[in-house]
Structures are given as C-alpha cells and as structure tokens.
Amino acid sequence: MTGRVGVGFSRGLEPLEIVECAVLAEELGYESAWVAEGHAGDQFAILTAIAMRTNKIQLGTAISSVFARTAPTVAMAAATVDLYSHGRFILGLGSSHKVQVEPEHGLVFDHPVQRVRECIDIVRGLLRDGRISYPGEVTNIQQFDFWFQTQRKEMPIYVAAVRPRMLQICGEISDGTILTWCTPEHARVAAENVALGAEQAGKDPATVDVTSLVNCFVSDDKDEARDKMRGPMATYCGFWPRYRKLMSDAGYPDEIEQVKLAWQAGEHERARQLVPAGLIDEISLVGTAEECRSRIAEYHAAGLKLPIVTPRVEGPTALEDAKRVIRACAPGT
C-alpha cells in the first residue's frame, strides 16, 4: 500500500495506551497521530506525552472545539505541544455541536463559523507576534501575550467540516480539512468543495490538505468487525444531526431514520442492530488486513490525501485490537 496514512485515537483506549500505540505507529512509518477531544483525557496533555516518546511523527488534534477553550488558551496549548515536539504539531479546530457544547460545557452555541474564523486569526496572531489585541464580532480581547518563546511563528491549522459551505470555508481559511464517517464518494465531493473555496480565496488548492478519520477494525470475521462499528454509528446517527445526514446521504435514508428513532427512544441495542451492513462497509474499514488496505487505496483514489486510520476498539482487548489495526494498515504493507 502506498500513499500517506495517519492514525487517530478517539475512545476505547486509556491515555497511556494511546501513547504506546502512537510510538508503535511511528515505528511503522505512519505520517501523523491525531487525538480527539472528548471524555478520554486531555488531548493536549496526551499529545505532549507522545511528543516526549517520539521523534518524527506529526501530532494533531482532531479536533479541538473553539467553544471549550478560549482562543488564547487554544493558542497557548498548541504552542506548548509544538515546543515539546520540536515543531511537529498540527492544530485541528472545529465548532463542535450544539448538542455537546450546551449540555456538556454549559455554554451557549452561537456564531460557530465566525468563532472558528476568529480563533484561527487569534492563534495565528499570537504565534506570529507573541501578543494580540483583537476586537472581533464574537471574541473581544483587549490584550493577551505569551510569556514563553514559541517553537515556530506559524503552524498548520486544519478545520473540521461536513457540509459543502463549511468545506469551502476550510479551503479559504485553513491549511487542511478534517472529515469523519466519510465514504470515498463524500471524500471526492469534499475535496472538490475545498478546492473551490481555496480558488475563490486566491489560493492554490494543492496547498490545502484533505484528511478524514476513517474508523477501522481488523478481523478475519467480517461480521465481528462490522459489529464494532454498530454502536458508534448508532450513537452518531442518533445524537449528531450533521453525521446523521451524512449517513443518510450515503444512500440509506430509510434505514438511518429507523436507527435514529430507535436510538432516541432509548432502544440503543435495537438501534445498533438496525445499522445497515452496507453502510458500515462504505463508511469504515472492516474485515481482513488486505480488505482494509484495499479500502484505504480507494480513499486515496477518491481524492482523500490523508486517511487517518482510527481503531474502533473497546473492552479488555482494546489495546491488542488497536495494535492489530495499526500493524495491518501501516504504510508500505
């Protein structure tokens, strides 16, 4: 298998296990390691721990919410990981979702796109100048300054997106976009929208990376591998409207509606079982090592520059299962 490949971590592993897996990924030639924001440990702390155990693998957030931290603290956290990693950090940002921001963080979910724009402006300004005053529409900073020397004056900033307009904005304002639960066809359309946004902003589309977290479970038993995806997909379908539409648009509107209704009725096990096998096969990497590598090649061919293989693991065998995924999907295998 040829082409760029990253590895991502979301849930199912303990923080120290994520570090162990990232060290293995570097040994096997993965380009980058990405840590999601959620409930499984602070992503910047985990990435710093990875930085101290590795030498060349790039490190990224996939993603950090522009609501959960203030823009200056995002900039300071990013600059700190960049310092410990000697310039290997990529800052992945996103607006997150109303259904997370408000009930989980007690904040008001307002002006998400503008907040992303202003956060990027502030991070770039602080990295460049070490201080900033910023009279924005949603963020008004009188003054904030760094009390330490940064590793770099600029760093790559990627933005999460799902829908066409936000993908075009990614092309306009960012160095890359981060997708998730992405079929090869969605990757193709997303890459076109990112390129359109870049062209409209006078940028070379080739300078904007197109990446996606691609959930994976490797097993000789394809039904077992599919089952590892059912719970997460049912949750994403029932909880997050953006991803529900993404799954529906993949060609399964009726099935996804039934999954949503079951999940929202509290019938989570039934919702899991209703997730269609065809969609699982289209939206994730499941099956033997050879099948998963073949699917990665399909994503590359569709225009996805960087598939980020994300082990979807859980339970007492999670670490073992994650390492099997990482070994199976390693570049050059």
Share of the chain above pLDDT 70, in %: 100
Q: Concatenated DSSP letters for 104-140?
A: HH------HHHHHHHHHHHHHHHHHHSEEEEE-SS-E
pLDDT value of position 136 = 97
One-letter amino acid at 254 equals D
The answer to whether the CB of 220 falls within 8 A of the CB of 204 is no
CA separation for the pair 49, 21 (Å, rounded): 12
Q: What is the pTM of this model?
A: 0.97
The answer to whether residues 194 and 57 belong to one domain is: yes
State the DSSP H helix or E strand holding residue 149, giving kind and residue range, or none if neither.
none
The answer to whether residues 278 and 312 belong to one domain is: no
Q: Which of 318, 139, 121, 294 is nearest to 228 (CA)?
A: 318
The answer to whether residues 154 and 260 belong to one domain is: no
The answer to whether residues 240 and 132 belong to one domain is: no
CA separation for the pair 133, 256 (Å, rounded): 46
Decide if pLDDT at 2 tops 90. Answer: no
CA separation for the pair 125, 72 (Å, rounded): 10
Q: What is the mean pLDDT of residues 202-217?
A: 98
The answer to whether position 293 is within a domain reads no
Q: Measure the N-to-C terminal CA separation of the chain; round to a whole number of Å.
A: 6
The answer to whether residues 156 and 257 belong to one domain is: no
**Inter-axis angle of helices 112-129 and 71-84, nearest 10:** 50
- pLDDT tens, 77-88? 999 999 999 999
The answer to whether residues 170 and 23 belong to one domain is: yes
CA 88 to centroid of chain Cα atoms? 17
SS3 307: strand
| Residue corresponding to tokens 């999601």 | 36
The answer to whether residues 114 and 191 belong to one domain is: yes
Other beta carbons within 10 Å of 153: 10
The answer to whether residues 203 and 246 belong to one domain is: no
- pLDDT tens, 211-259? 999 999 999 999 999 999 999 999 999 999 999 999 999 999 999 999 9
- pLDDT tens, 270-311? 999 999 999 999 999 999 999 999 999 999 999 999 999 999
Give the structural domain span for 164: 6-211+305-328
Q: Concatenated DSSP letters for 208-223?
A: SEEEEEEEEEE-S-HH
The answer to whether residues 269 and 142 belong to one domain is: no
pLDDT value of position 184 = 96
Q: What CATH number should be reported for the domain holding residue 197?
A: 3.20.20.30
How many residues are listed for the chain in this entry? 333
Please give the radius of gyration of the chain, using alpha carbons only, rounded to the nearest integer.
19
The answer to whether residues 191 and 231 belong to one domain is: no
CA separation for the pair 262, 236 (Å, rounded): 13
Share of the chain above pLDDT 90, in %: 95
The answer to whether residues 98 and 237 belong to one domain is: no
The answer to whether residues 29 and 128 belong to one domain is: yes
CA separation for the pair 127, 255 (Å, rounded): 47
The answer to whether the CB of 274 falls within 8 A of the CB of 234 is yes
The answer to whether position 202 is within a domain reads yes
pLDDT value of position 332 = 85
Q: Encoding tokens for residue 139? A: 């963020």
Decide if pLDDT at 269 tops 80. Answer: yes
Number of domains in the chain: 2
SS3 41: coil
**102 backbone φψ class: left, alpha, beta (φ>0; ψ -120 to 50):** alpha
The answer to whether position 170 is within a domain reads yes
Alpha helices, DSSP H, located in the chain: 15-27, 43-53, 71-84, 98-105, 112-129, 164-173, 184-200, 222-239, 241-249, 253-264, 268-274, 277-283, 289-301, 318-328
